[in-house]
Structures are given as C-alpha cells and as structure tokens.
Homo-oligomer: A and B are copies of this chain.
C-alpha cells in the first residue's frame, strides 16, 4: 500500500486550491435543531464550483500534477466516475487547459453528462453492469498516453476533499461529531485527517445507503469487500469497493459506518429544500440522514454539535421532483426523528 496521506497534505491542498474554489456557507435550521435536540451545521458544498466538494480533490490533483510536469496541454488526463468527480475534473482541466477524457457509466444522470460535456471534455461510456471501469480506463490510458486521475483512491484527491471539513471546523470550532457520505471514501478519509487535529475528540461517522454498504462490510470484515450492483437513489456513492488508501484511513480514524434507506434520503432532501431553501442531490444529504439516525438511536447524545457536508447539488430536476414527492411531510418527519 502507498503511504497514507496526512494532515499536512490537506493543509497543502488548501493552500493550492483556495484561490480557485468558493468559500461555501455554513447554514443551519433553528427549527430542525429544536426538533432533533442537537445542532447540525451544514457546509453547502452543493453550491461549490462544479456543484460538489469533488472540485476540491480534482483541483488539488490537477494542479499538483501540472506543477510536477506530469500533465500538460499535450499530455492529457483520463478518469472514470459516476459524475461529480468527472464534472469536477472537467472544471479543473479546463482551468489548467489540459485535455480530459472521461469514462462515464451509461446510466449517469443526464445533467452530469451534459455539464461535463459543456466543459469541452471527451466523454466515453462503459456499462456499469458488465464492465470493469478501471480495466477499461487503464487500457485506454495506455493506448492514448493519458494520465489517470482516479475518483478517490489517490493521495491528492483525498487531501483535496479534506479541505471541506477543514473549512467547516476552522469556522465552527470543535464539534462532537462529523457525519459524511461514503462512496469510495475520499471525503471521509481526508476529513478524518483534519478532524483528528482540529477536533480530536469528535466522532467520525460515515454513511452509506442500505443498498450499497461495501465500506461498512469492509470495516466489519477487516478487508476490502466488493459488492455487486449497488441499489440506491444515491448515484454519487454507487461504488462497488473502496480503495486501499481510503480503507486504511477509515480503519485508522473512523468511529463507524451507519446505513440509511433511500426513504430517509428523500425526507432529508425535502427538509433541506423546505428549511434551508437548498437543492441537494440524493448523495448530498446522506450525512444529514445518517446524523438524524445516530441522534434518534442515542449514539449522538442530546445537545451534540454535529458537522455535516451537503456534499453535492447535481441532480436532474425531474429526479429532484420525484424524490421530494416521495418524501413524507417534513415537519412530521422531524417530529418522528426528534426525541
């Protein structure tokens, strides 16, 4: 295994990318807090450039490789991704004038494909049911002389993603817990490095959809577990397995992984829309849904201060409408979750 990234990598990443990213807001809802008996602080990465926190890792990785001369306008990059990483790399590559090829699943959200193409990216497709995207990517990279920037299992990607929680904790100070979505584990891996330094007593929880709990299984078993066909509305975390770096960080730092049903995701999307007036994609509210579950079952005690990342906002409006229409009444839901 490559050496694990460190807190210093995150600090360097912040210095590298801060001129290029939005300083997103931290918001909360008094009504939600009153119902839950806890304080939830949301960092609005749904309003980050490119529509998700993934812009952080992508910029860090592209700028660092460019500065080292590994990529250039002649020597392009390639990635595979469910969408937000692709869109984030597209933004980073376009800024540094580096050609980008993206391998996307045939079932990627329309808005993500269109947004990616709008940055002038070459899009190629693979079938997520039958193809191994990493194998296809490696063959394509070798053939076309491209550098692969993977979506999560990469030192600089992980460090870049960690800058979101760094901003959150620099602003709000120590917290009792941070609760984050887990797909490949880049966000929680990088975040855990920051949390251990800025808020050493804080619990660090990951959240997966019930239909795609490979990270939970991996931590339980003590080795990386691969799952077939993740089944969830959260397209941003339909990963089949985490990486060795992100697994290493999770084993070392993470308190635990909890899972939530898609119905909780719908509820939280509606609560975020209703109370915060924000559009979040399904994956974007996984942290919130997990935090509400951990509050409801008493894992996070009454009065906890909880840091949550609204991780992305890239959702087709038809999907968004369908999700909030399926959700139960938001106020009733808060009452159900409250104690």
Contact = CB atoms under 8 A, between A and B. Distances in A.
Contact of A270 (B31, B274, B317, B331): B317
Interface residues of A, number: 29
Contacts of A324: 317, 320-321
Interface string A136-176: 00000000000000000000000000000000000000000
A325 B321 contact: yes
A317 B114 CA distance: 26
Q: Is the interface of A mostly helix, strand, loop or mixed?
A: helix
Contacts of A111: 274
Nearest to A318: B325
A305 to B, nearest CB: 20
A157 B313 CA distance: 36
Interface string A29-62: 0010000000000001011000100000000000
A317 B268 CA distance: 12
B114 A331 contact: yes
Contact of A278 (B270, B279, B322, B327): B279
Interface string A3-42: 0000000000000000000000101000100000000000
A77 interface: no
A204 interface: no
Contacts of A313: 277
A116 to B, nearest CB: 13
Interface string A298-318: 000000000000000100011
Contacts of A274: 111, 279, 317
A234 B230 CA distance: 41
A30 to B, nearest CB: 9
A317 B273 contact: yes
A320 B318 CA distance: 12
Contacts of A51: 277
Nearest to A115: B31
Nearest to A310: B277
Contact of A273 (B44, B118, B320, B327): B320
A262 to B, nearest CB: 17
A330 interface: yes
A320 B272 CA distance: 13
Interface in A224-280: 270, 273-274, 276-280
B279 A46 contact: no
Nearest to A46: B277
Interface string A193-220: 0000000000000000000000000000
Contacts of A325: 317-318, 321
A51 B317 CA distance: 22
Contacts of A276: 47
Interface in A315-339: 317-318, 320-322, 324-325, 327, 330-331
A46 B118 CA distance: 29
Given A47-B276, A270-B317, A321-B322, 9 more contacts: A25-B25, A27-B47, A51-B277, A273-B279, A273-B317, A274-B279, A277-B278, A317-B324, A321-B321
